[in-house]
């Protein structure tokens, strides 16, 4: 090898080292401010756990702490946004109202610039509203509310110059958990679930926050899959054992944080209502469910790492946000027992032309994520979250509604169009501003 070739290799090598040492962000001149805070929200005493009615007793302990985390962002115009993620079953409407009120009163933050998302872990507490006249002392909800108010205050209080960037990768453990309704009834697999041919969204969008001159300080990532690796029954020596933990999403966050000092990793649940992580529960005789949750968590964390090592794109402002409700009507099967319509929240947040974040309430099937990304394509990256700002029941697409099954409560067939048109309306209104 001649000297020129050696020098050329050395220069190329330096280039690689330099690009890696930039960390995860794509440098731009756009100057954000960001602040991050987190708090443990594991119940201090054993409680009934959320998500499965089959459990026979309250929790027995904690396998992994549960967290609430807040990311406050401020664009160059001084417009602020707060994103809260929680290792909980869902965002109960009254909890949203409490946090919304606190954010408005203390920080003048309007509702459209507050996004709350729950990981949908089924190994968190079955938390409920404090009833009128009930003593709040020692009540889990009072504890949870105090922690949420605190992390918002801390995240806003810590706002400091930062850069935002985004990346994406894929992660494959989610499979469509419904049966294949396309198969004729005579097919031996017609009634079998999960469905390896069913729609999935294996994309892992990643938002990175880095303060100048420091390591990555926050990473927000998403996956469209039920956070239910453990299912309802965990056994130790054939005795039921219910332990608080964040399921795969909790272990993904823990893995990322263990690997990177000073990092707050935040999981945002995607449109995974009809998706489950596989394998799960006791599907493999020699693997305990908790091991699967840890394994899937590491797999998802490594997808986030892969994303950050791949194409990284800048995220610039300004922040533009809208939050409105659509009415979702139910089919009235029994006139004596009318089912009320649902007031359903749809939130759209635009980060300049670089990123559009759509946050939908409750348990949304994957069709919404796939359709919205397709229809809003070409206007920067589109990220669709479910389990945001509201909780309770499934939100089927028209396809799922027609097929029927577990994820198809009796909504009127216009449900999908109502939601999608509201997203499109808000998105185009924000773009025009
Ligand atoms: Zn669910």
| pLDDT tens per residue, range 56-105 | 899 999 999 999 999 999 999 999 999 999 999 999 999 999 999 999 99
- Asked if residue 98 is part of any domain, the answer here is yes
- Do residue 160 and residue 244 come from a single domain? yes
Separation CA 181–CA 161 (nearest Å): 51
Output the CA angle 41-46-50, nearest 5 degrees.
70
Residues 151-160 have pLDDT tens digits of 999 999 999 9
- Asked if residue 71 is part of any domain, the answer here is yes
- Asked if residue 11 is part of any domain, the answer here is no
DSSP letter, residue 145:
H
d(CA 283, ligand 1 centre) in Å:
19
State the helix-helix crossing angle for 289-309 and 247-259, rounded to 10 degrees. 50
Q: How many domains does the chain have?
A: 2
Token pair of 423 as six digits: 């997203």
d(CA 335, ligand 1 centre) in Å:
29
- Do residue 306 and residue 353 come from a single domain? no
Q: Is the pLDDT at 4 greater than 60, yes or no? A: no
Alpha helices, DSSP H, located in 22-109: 93-107
- Do residue 285 and residue 372 come from a single domain? no
Residues 314-372 have pLDDT tens digits of 999 999 999 999 999 999 989 899 999 999 999 999 999 999 999 999 999 999 999 99
Token pair of 419 as six digits: 């939601």
- Confidence tier at 11 by pLDDT (50, 70, 90): very low
Residues 370-387 have pLDDT tens digits of 999 999 998 799 999 999
d(CA 247, ligand 1 centre) in Å:
13
- Asked if residue 8 is part of any domain, the answer here is no
Query: How high is the pLDDT of residue 5?
Result: 46
- Do residue 402 and residue 350 come from a single domain? yes
Q: Are 399 and 367 in contact (CB under 8 A)?
A: yes
Mean pLDDT along residues 181-187: 94
d(CA 210, ligand 1 centre) in Å:
33
Ion ligand 1 neighbours (CB, 5 A) are: 363
- Lowest-confidence region among 13-17, 119-123, 127-131, 291-295: 13-17
- Do residue 244 and residue 224 come from a single domain? yes
Q: Among the three residues 314, 338, 368, which one is the final residue of a domain in this structure?
A: 314
Query: How high is the pLDDT of residue 26?
Result: 63
- Asked if residue 171 is part of any domain, the answer here is yes
- Lowest-confidence region among 3-17, 227-241, 387-401: 3-17
- Do residue 292 and residue 326 come from a single domain? no
Q: Is the pLDDT at 19 greater than 70, yes or no? A: no
- Asked if residue 134 is part of any domain, the answer here is yes
- Do residue 253 and residue 328 come from a single domain? no
Query: How high is the pLDDT of residue 433?
Result: 78
Mean pLDDT along residues 402-429: 97
- Do residue 338 and residue 294 come from a single domain? no
Residues 165-177 have pLDDT tens digits of 999 999 999 999 9
CA-derived radius of gyration, the chain: 22
d(CA 273, ligand 1 centre) in Å:
6
Separation CA 9–CA 284 (nearest Å): 49
- Asked if residue 236 is part of any domain, the answer here is yes
d(CA 246, ligand 1 centre) in Å:
14
Token pair of 48 as six digits: 């009934």
- Asked if residue 298 is part of any domain, the answer here is yes
Query: How high is the pLDDT of residue 8?
Result: 43
Give the whole-number percent of the chain exceeding pLDDT 70: 93
- Do residue 162 and residue 297 come from a single domain? yes
Residue-number span of the structural domain to which 329 is assigned: 319-432
Query: How high is the pLDDT of residue 353?
Result: 96
CA 281 vs CA 54, 247, 291: distances in Å: 14, 11, 10
User: Torsions phi, psi of 399, nearest 5?
Assistant: -60, -50
d(CA 186, ligand 1 centre) in Å:
30
Q: Are 247 and 64 in contact (CB under 8 A)?
A: no
Alpha helices, DSSP H, located in 209-343: 247-259, 289-309
d(CA 87, ligand 1 centre) in Å:
14
3-state SS assignment for residue 80: strand
- Do residue 252 and residue 376 come from a single domain? no
d(CA 120, ligand 1 centre) in Å:
7
């Amino acid at each position: 090898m001649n000297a020129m070739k050696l020098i050329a290799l050395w220069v190329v090598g330096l280039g690689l080292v330099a690009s890696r040492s930039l960390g995860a962000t794509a440098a731009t001149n756009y100057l954000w401010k960001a602040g991050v805070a987190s708090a443990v929200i594991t119940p201090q005493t054993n409680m009934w756990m959320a998500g499965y009615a089959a459990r026979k007793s309250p929790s027995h302990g904690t396998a992994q702490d549960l967290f609430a985390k807040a990311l406050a962002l401020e664009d160059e115009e001084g417009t602020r946004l707060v994103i809260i993620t929680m290792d909980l079953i869902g965002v109960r409407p009254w909890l949203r109202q409490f946090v919304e009120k606190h954010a408005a009163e203390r920080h003048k933050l309007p509702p459209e610039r507050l996004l709350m998302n729950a990981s949908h872990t089924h190994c968190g507490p079955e938390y409920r509203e404090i009833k009128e006249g009930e003593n709040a002392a020692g009540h889990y909800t009072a504890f949870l509310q105090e922690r949420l108010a605190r992390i918002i205050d801390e995240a806003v209080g810590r706002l400091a110059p930062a850069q935002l960037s985004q990346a994406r990768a894929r992660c494959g453990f989610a499979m469509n958990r419904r049966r294949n309704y396309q198969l004729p009834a005579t097919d031996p697999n017609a009634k079998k679930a999960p469905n390896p041919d069913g729609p999935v969204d294996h994309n892992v969008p990643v938002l990175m926050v880095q303060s100048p001159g420091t390591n990555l300080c926050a990473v927000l990532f998403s996956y469209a899959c039920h956070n239910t690796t453990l299912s309802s029954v965990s056994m130790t020596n054939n005795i039921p054992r219910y332990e608080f933990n964040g399921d795969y999403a909790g272990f993904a966050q823990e893995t990322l944080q263990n690997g990177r000092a000073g990092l707050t990793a935040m999981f945002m649940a995607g449109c995974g209502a009809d998706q489950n992580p596989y394998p799960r529960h006791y599907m493999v005789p020699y693997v305990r469910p908790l091991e699967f949750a840890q394994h899937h968590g590491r797999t998802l964390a490594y997808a986030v790492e892969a994303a950050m090592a791949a194409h990284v794109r800048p995220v610039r402002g300004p922040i533009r946000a809208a939050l409105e409700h659509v009415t979702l009507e139910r089919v009235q099967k029994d006139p004596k027992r009318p089912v009320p319509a649902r007031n359903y929240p749809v939130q759209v947040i635009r980060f300049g032309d670089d990123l559009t974040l759509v946050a939908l309430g409750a348990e949304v099937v994957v069709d919404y994520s796939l359709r919205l990304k397709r229809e809003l394509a070409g206007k920067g990256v589109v990220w669709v979250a479910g389990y945001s700002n509201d909780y309770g029941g499934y939100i089927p697409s028209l396809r799922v509604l027609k097929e029927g099954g577990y994820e198809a409560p009796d909504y009127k067939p216009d449900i999908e169009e109502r939601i999608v048109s509201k997203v499109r309306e808000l998105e185009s209104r924000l773009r025009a501003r």
